[in-house]
Structure 1
Amino acid sequence: MKRGIGSEDAETPELTVPVRKVCFIIAKAHEFDVKVAAGESDTGSNPTDDNEIAVLEDHDDDSVREELGSLISELSIDEQIDLVALMWLGRDDGQAGDWEEVRQQATYAHNKHTAGYLCGNPLLGEHLEAGLDAIGLSCGD
């Protein structure tokens, strides 16, 4: 699997979304990624006895999901487009030289459902990390 800048001439594209915001979204996405499908609830159950397992279950009103969706919705349109382009670039093993084309496709595809679309990707954190890596950036920078 090839990662990083595709050629010596390729420059790191300038993102409209700050890398620190992308990294925060990645961290939140990883929190959400560890969730599992909600099991059958036992109303007589005690959270202490259950080791508070419900916190790892994915519920419709999950606070991590709501926070992640709010974070993405509060971004500007250009920042949301960058986020989608980064996810696509990371998902498809792209390179920095592909950035303008992928971003243009994300611009055409942008709509009011971007947060839901991104949150619906079960590998959002990994894809965003791979997207940053593809353009020569990382959360360690």
Structure 2
Amino acid sequence: MELTIPVETVCRIILRAREYEALVPETDPDAGSNASDDGSVDELEDGRDENPAEAELRAIIDDLAEDEQAELIALAMVGHGTYDASEWDEAMESAAEETDDAADWVLDQPTLSTDLDAGLAAFDLSCDGIGTLV
């Protein structure tokens, strides 16, 4: 199996997915309170209307070719355990059905970064030494 999507692109998506997954739904009813009093919870809250990690993920995924989007989804499926690495063709067939809304599908995965990382590992690929969070 040879990917058409660059591993560097998958790694960039993993890094941004980690940022996205770290956000929590808004829970602070008193957003104007003193940050030290409420444990700085506002820093991690997801203000969905202005979420740069989500916006960047959507842009990256939307810019991918359809076959690359399918590979990204298939990697997540393999990493999640829906398919085994030996079932790559089946994973790709299933993933191809999701490319119409690829960004939505990807962002709906609560463990996306872990799944993609495990998907790469299933094919002896990794993000070791590729990129850093900025």
Q: Same fold (TM over 0.5)?
A: yes
Partner of 1:76: 65
Partner of 1:7: none
SS at match of 1:113: helix
Instruction: Indicate if the aligned counterparts of 1:88 and 1:131 stay in contact, CA closer than 8 A.
Output: yes
Instruction: Indicate if the aligned counterparts of 1:86 and 1:132 stay in contact, CA closer than 8 A.
Output: yes
Structure 1 gaps of 5+ residues are: 1-12
Partner of 2:91: 102
Cα deviation, residue 16, structure 1? 1.1
Cα deviation, residue 54, structure 1? 2.1
| Residue 16 of structure 1 pairs with residue 4 of structure 2 | yes
Structure 2 gaps of 5+ residues are: 130-134
| Residue 44 of structure 1 pairs with residue 32 of structure 2 | yes
The ranges of structure 1 where at least 4 consecutive aligned residues each deviate by more than 4 angstroms after the TM superposition are 46-52
User: TM-score, normalising length from structure 1?
Assistant: 0.79
| Residue 130 of structure 1 pairs with residue 121 of structure 2 | no
Give a deviation string over 1:79-101, Cα, whole Å, max 9, x none.
Answer: 10000000001111644322122
Residues in 2 aligned to 1:53 and 1:23: alpha-carbon distance in whole angstroms: 28
| Residue 112 of structure 1 pairs with residue 100 of structure 2 | yes
Give a deviation string over 1:33-66, Cα, whole Å, max 9, x none.
Answer: 1111112342533557756532311222222112
Structure with larger Rg: 1
Q: 1:64 aligns with which of 50, 53, 63?
A: 53
Partner of 1:9: none
Residues in 2 aligned to 1:136 and 1:100: alpha-carbon distance in whole angstroms: 17
Residues in 2 aligned to 1:65 and 1:40: alpha-carbon distance in whole angstroms: 21
Which structure shows the bigger proportion of residues in helix conformation? 2
Give a deviation string over 1:2-58, Cα, whole Å, max 9, x none.
Answer: xxxxxxxxxxx1111100000010010011111111123425335577565323112
Q: Highest relative contact order (Cα 8 Å, sep 6+), 1 or 2? A: 1
Partner of 1:35: 23
Identity of aligned residues (%): 38
